[in-house]
Amino acid sequence: MTDLSDSRPSIVDLAEAIQNHTETISDYLSQNSLPELSSLSDGYPFFPGTGPPHLDRYPKPPQKVLDARTQAREACESLMQLITGPADQYFYYITQHLNSVALQYLYRFRIAESVPLNERCTFQDAATKAGVDAGQCTRVLRMAMTSGYFQEPTVGYVAHTAGSMLLLDPNLRDAAGYVVEESLPASGKTVEAILKWPQVEETNETAWNLAHGSDLPMFQFFESHPARMERFMGAMRMMSEGEGYDIKHLVNGFDWKALGEGLVVDVGGSFGHCSYSIADTAPKLSFVVQDLEKVIRTAKTERINDRHGERVKFEAHDFFEPQPIRNADVYLLRFICHDYSDKYAAKILANIVSAMGPKSKILIVDGVLPPPGTLTKAEERKLRILDMNMLISFNGGERDVEGWMSLFKRADSRLGLRHMWTPPDSALSLMELDLAQGESVVSPT
C-alpha cells in the first residue's frame, strides 16, 4: 500500500491509495451484506454503521474500515485539488456562497416537498406546486444538482437524490434553515461587525446582530420568536444525533458511582437529559438541573412522570448570577462555554467557584481543538466550521488546550485542570477542575 506520509504525494500515489482503501471498504460491505453506496433517492442515507444509533440499523464498522474511509476521503480531496489546479480551485473557493443561496431557495420554498418521492416530475410541475417561477426554480435546481442535490434524469425533469431526500427530515431541514436564514446573512456581516466592535467579547455585538437588526443576544431574541427558537433546537437535535455527541460518552467517561451519595449540579442542563442518563448508572447520586425559568417550567411539566423523579430536581437559575448551591460534588457544564467569549465564560465559571467546597469539582464537557495538522482536512474543517459559527453568532468559539487554560486562569487563579481526556469516538472532551493548589495537570488520553 502506498505510504502517503510524504506531504507531496503524486497523483498516481493518490490514485493507488484510493483504490486500496476503497477495496477494503467494498470488501467489507459485500462480505457483510450491507447496502451498496449510492447517491440515488433510494440510497442508504449513511455510510452503514456511522449514522445516529437510533436511526442507523447497521453495526459500527471495524476500525480498519473506518480508517480506510477516512484515508480514502483525504486522498480523494487531495487528488481533486491537484487535478483541478490552484486557479480553478480558487474560483470554486470564492464562489461557495452561491451553494448556500441555492440551499436557501430550496429551504424557503420547500422545493424538496414539491418533487415526488420515487418518481420524476417536470421543473414546471415542481415550480407550480411550490408557487414559484419555473425559470428561476429550474436554474436553482440545476445549481444544486452540481453538488448532488436532486438530479435531472431526463432533460426538463427533476427527481430526488439521497442528498435532497435529507431536506424532508424535520431536524435536517431545521439545520438547513438555521444555516441559510440565521448564519448565512450573518456571515456577510462578519468583517463589518469586527470593524465596528473589534474587541469581539459582547454577546450582542456580533455579525448576527448586524444582519438581523437586533440589540439582543441571539438566544434572548429567540425567546420572543418561538418559531426561530424551535428551528434552532431542531438544528441542535440534528447535531447531537451523531456518535460524537452521544451522551453515553459523558456517562461512561467519568466514574459517577465513585461519588456515592453525592450531589451533581447540571448547570444550564435544559431538560435534564444528562442527569437522567447518569442517574441510570449511578443509583445513589442526586441531581439538580439548572436553567432559565422558562426552560425549567417546561422541563418540570414534561418530566413530571419520568423515572428518577425523586433524585433529579429542577431549579431556575441564571448561570451569570452567583451559584446558589454550595459544596456540590460536581458542577457539570456540558456544551456551554463554547457559546461565550472568555469574558462571559469566565464569569460563568467564577460564579461556580464561589460556591465550591474543598472537595467540589467542575466537569466541563466541550470541544478541545487539537494542534493544527493533526487531523485530516475533513475532520479539521468540521471543527473550523463550528468555530466560525460561534464567532459570527455569539462571539464565542472553540478553544485549544492553551485557550482553555487561559480561560480557567481568567475565571479564578485557584482553578486547576486536573485531568483532560477524550472518550473514544467522542467529539467532546471531559475536563475536570478543582481548587487544589498547585500547577494544572493536563493528561489527554
* CATH architecture of the domain with residue range 97-168: Orthogonal Bundle (1.10)
Can you tell me the distance from the alpha carbon of 326 to that of 429, in angstroms, rounded to the nearest whole number? Answer: 26
Name, in order, each residue with C-beta under 8 angstroms of 69's C-beta and a sequence gap of 6 or more: 21, 25, 47, 61
Per-residue confidence at 375, pLDDT binned at 50, 70, 90? confident
3-state secondary structure of 360: coil
Does 131 have pLDDT greater than 90?
Answer: yes
- Per-residue model confidence as pLDDT tens digits over 403-427: 999 999 999 999 999 999 999 989 9
- Per-residue model confidence as pLDDT tens digits over 16-25: 999 999 999 9
Does 55 have pLDDT greater than 90?
Answer: no
Q: State residue 444's pLDDT score.
A: 41
Class of the CATH-defined domain 243-434? alpha beta
Report yes or no on whether pTM surpasses 0.85.
Answer: yes
Mean pLDDT score, 357-384: 92
Does 443 have pLDDT greater than 50?
Answer: no
User: For the chain, what is the mean pLDDT?
Assistant: 93
For the chain, which residues make up each domain, given as ranges? 11-91, 97-168, 172-240, 243-434
Q: State residue 1's pLDDT score.
A: 45
Does 440 have pLDDT greater than 80?
Answer: no
Does 279 have pLDDT greater than 90?
Answer: yes
Fill in the amino acid letter for 385.
Answer: I
Q: What percentage of the chain carries pLDDT values higher than 90?
A: 84
The alpha-carbon radius of gyration of the chain (Å, integer) is: 24
DSSP-derived pairing of the beta strands 399-400 and 416-421: unpaired
Can you tell me the distance from the alpha carbon of 74 to that of 360, in angstroms, rounded to the nearest whole number? Answer: 44
DSSP state letters, 185-207: HHHTTHHHHHHH-TT---TTSSH
Please identify every residue annotated as catalytic: 338
Q: State residue 302's pLDDT score.
A: 84
Does 7 have pLDDT greater than 80?
Answer: no
